[in-house]
Amino acid sequence: MLIAILGLLLSACGTAPATNWPGMTTDGANVYLASGSHVYVVQLSDGREIATQTTEGPIPLRFPTKADASVSFFAAPALTADGQVIVGNAVHSSSLMVAKSNSLLYSFDQTAGNVRWSFGEAKGTWMASALVNGDTIYAPAGDGKLYAFDLKGQKRWESAVSEHALWSAPVTDGKQVFIATLEHEIIALDAQTGAQKWKTDLDNAVLGAPAVAGGTLYVGTLSGNLYALDSAGGKQKWVAALQGSIWGTPAISGETLYIGTAVAKAGKFYAVNITNGKPIQSRDEASAIIASPLVLPDQVVYATEAGHIKSLNLDGTPKWQADLEKGQFYTAPSLAGDLILFAPMQSEFLLLAYDQNGAQKWTFVPGK
């Protein structure tokens, strides 16, 4: 699976993968899971789908209501303060899995599931999550453009940043929006106008969104290099050469960065000094680490491609572990209150919830 996804990514042709990976986000009460042909709305309290009332009785609150085999969702939905769920889809040929130009960016209502607005001018597949910052939505598209919208779906600006599809979510420091490209670049745009502020070339493709903290961007490449860049001008502060390829976004805890790598069919998990990039410690894993880690006040959690969940104390000692009999992890775990959520692929479950001591609380399998 990893080799197939990597080949697809490096081709950067805008084709939709034959198998899509899930994405999730939470609002404190529910988790919004984009998986396959639906966005599911699942209660955090018990792992059950939210139901909505119709003239024919209650039905699950899903978007869209009925599955379409030619439509897939790939990235975590984004939520707005006024109750919108923002998510893009891929409309494709079932035989060739080639994304058509009529893939759409949707806004649907969090409680009713009805479409508030949609945008269909962009070509290609919506592969990455949108970013909501105040009253602006920043959406990376399959045509290599970053689009900015107001909350009513009116386009504020667009900026062509890549010749290929954008595969990672934008991030912001409030004044600038940062986006990674498959052309080895990190690009900073003015958040209000979309004008390019700076661009920095790195050594290889960047698949994970940068992490932003204290005026610095932290970002990894497929070559295994972890960079610290000055957010004001893109100047390199340091670079750490790690073993393997970096797919995810570094997680930050105080003076430490955490990131996993894929080393052929194996993996490594690193703790890196945030000031100088020197590795503090590393752990070998039997399978690749693709998903970004999750940092909590007392632990860091990560998941491997082979379906193993690992929790470490912040000093690097093991805290707890959970293993799937069947399943793979490509999606970062998410913290929702006291729960840690996981969205595996090729598993009987679409979602798993654990408490912070590693006890499984519930699983989610959609009903028919």
Q: What is the pLDDT of residue 7?
A: 46
Residue with tokens 């894929």: 262
What residue ranges define each of the domains in the chain, with the CATH number in brackets?
A: 204-368 (2.130.10.10)
Q: What is the pLDDT of residue 52?
A: 85
Q: How far is CA 314 from CA 45, 127, 270, 304, in A?
A: 28, 33, 12, 19
β-pairing verdict for 78-79 and 84-91: antiparallel
pTM value is 0.93
- The CA radius of gyration of the chain, in Å to the nearest whole number, is 19
Q: What is the pLDDT of residue 20?
A: 61
Q: How far is CA 138 from CA 130, 189, 286, in A?
A: 6, 11, 37
Q: What is the pLDDT of residue 186?
A: 98
Which amino acid is it at 205?
A
Q: How far is CA 230 from CA 137, 186, 190, 243, 250, in A?
A: 24, 11, 15, 24, 16
State the greatest distance between any 2 C-alpha atoms of the chain, in Å, as a whole number: 62
Taking only the tens of pLDDT, the chain with its 368 residues reads 544 454 445 444 443 443 468 999 999 999 999 999 999 999 999 999 999 887 788 889 999 999 888 889 989 999 999 999 999 998 865 444 444 456 899 999 999 999 999 999 998 889 999 999 999 999 999 999 999 999 999 999 999 999 999 999 999 999 999 999 999 999 999 999 999 999 999 999 999 999 999 999 999 999 999 999 999 999 999 999 999 999 999 999 999 999 999 998 899 999 999 999 999 999 999 999 999 999 999 999 999 999 999 999 999 999 999 999 999 999 999 999 999 999 999 999 999 999 999 999 999 999 87
Residue with tokens 């930050």: 252
Q: What is the pLDDT of residue 103?
A: 87
Q: What is the pLDDT of residue 12?
A: 40
Residues 6+ apart with CB under 8 A from 154: none
